[in-house]
Amino acid sequence: MIEMHDVWKRYPNGVEALRGIDVKIEQGEFVYVVGPSGAGKSTFIKLMYREEKPSSGVILINGVNVKRVRDWKIPYLRRNIGVVFQDYKLLPNMTAYENVAFAMEAIEAPRRQIRRRVEEVLELVGLEDRMHALPSQLSGGEQQRVSIARAIVNNPSFLIADEPTGNLDPETSWDIMYLLQEINNRGTTIVMATHNKEIVNTMRQRVIAIEQGVIVRDELQGEYGYED
Ligand SMILES: Nc1ncnc2c1ncn2[C@@H]1O[C@H](COP(=O)(O)OP(=O)(O)OP(=O)(O)O)[C@@H](O)[C@H]1O
């Protein structure tokens, strides 16, 4: 479970990106985070994987207060949280296989486990035939599949995605959504910030809307609710 209690985020330049966030996300949920540009969606998501720290308030990830986690323990916290970005963030000089394996090497998984598990997740995302390709040899949708494989390879409880379909055409975006749905069906909690109205309105999952740093709407089977 992810819990936030009266969470505020003030950046050093004085911008208050989040102003008193209270939220609970249970294991197994699929949650869309929507809202206008600059509303605080990315900040909300960055706090979950501790890319940013809250200025005040408490964030618990499976009961662990992320503020109290010492820096050297962050890799262990992150092991439980896979992250997917709009621009994939793959290492350009490593193959698809190596990009995914790297995430297991980082947590010092046993070598014999790595090969089996990396092949398994690349198969799950439909890339078993492309595993020795470099990112530059893959389409945007394929690169996003690699990044999803990398995010789930260590079996995290949570998958956090910031605009994962932002650079993809509508058809490829839907392929990625079906993949995320399949991962959610297997028990992984998914939190996804998005501007994709069609996807949110078709999937009808929980929707949290943020405006000016405040949660203004939190609905099960919600709608996108904006025009863009
Ligand atoms: N590192 C930072 N330093 C200072 N201000 C920041 C920083 N990151 C974000 N902000 C500001 O905080 C506010 C919220 O930004 P955030 O990126 O969380 O919004 P967003 O809802 O994700 O927007 P978008 O939909 O455009 O990605 C904005 O006013 C932004 O300019």
Could you tell me if the CB of 4 is within 6 A of ligand 1? no
Could you tell me if the CB of 38 is within 6 A of ligand 1? yes
Contacts of 155 by beta carbon, 8 Å cutoff, 6+ apart: none
Q: What confidence tens digit (pLDDT) does each residue in 115-134 have?
A: 999 999 999 999 999 999 99
Q: What confidence tens digit (pLDDT) does each residue in 42-96 have?
A: 999 999 988 999 999 999 998 888 888 777 777 777 789 999 999 999 999 999 9
Could you tell me if the CB of 222 is within 6 A of ligand 1? no
Instruction: Write the DSSP assignment of 66-125 as a string of letters.
Output: GGGS-GGGHHHHHHTEEEEETT----TTS-HHHHHHHHHHHTT--HHHHHHHHHHHHHHT
ipTM of the complex as predicted? 0.97
Q: Please calculate the CA angle 137-142-117 and round it to the nearest 5 degrees.
A: 105
Output the CA–CA distances (angstroms, integers) from residue 10 to 41, 140, 174, 193, in the order listed. 14, 34, 35, 20
Q: Residue 142 is which amino acid? A: E
The rounded Å distance from CA 15 to ligand 1 centre is 9
Which of 7, 8, 15, 165 has the most ligand 1 atoms within 8 A of CB, as the residue to mutate? 15
Could you tell me if the CB of 34 is within 6 A of ligand 1? no
pLDDT of residue 172: 95
User: What is the pTM for the complete model shown?
Assistant: 0.95
Q: CA torsion sign, 163 to 18 to 79 to 199?
A: negative
Q: What confidence tens digit (pLDDT) does each residue in 186-222 have?
A: 999 999 999 999 999 999 999 999 999 999 999 999 9
Could you tell me if the CB of 41 is within 6 A of ligand 1? yes
CB 62 within 8 A of CB 24: no
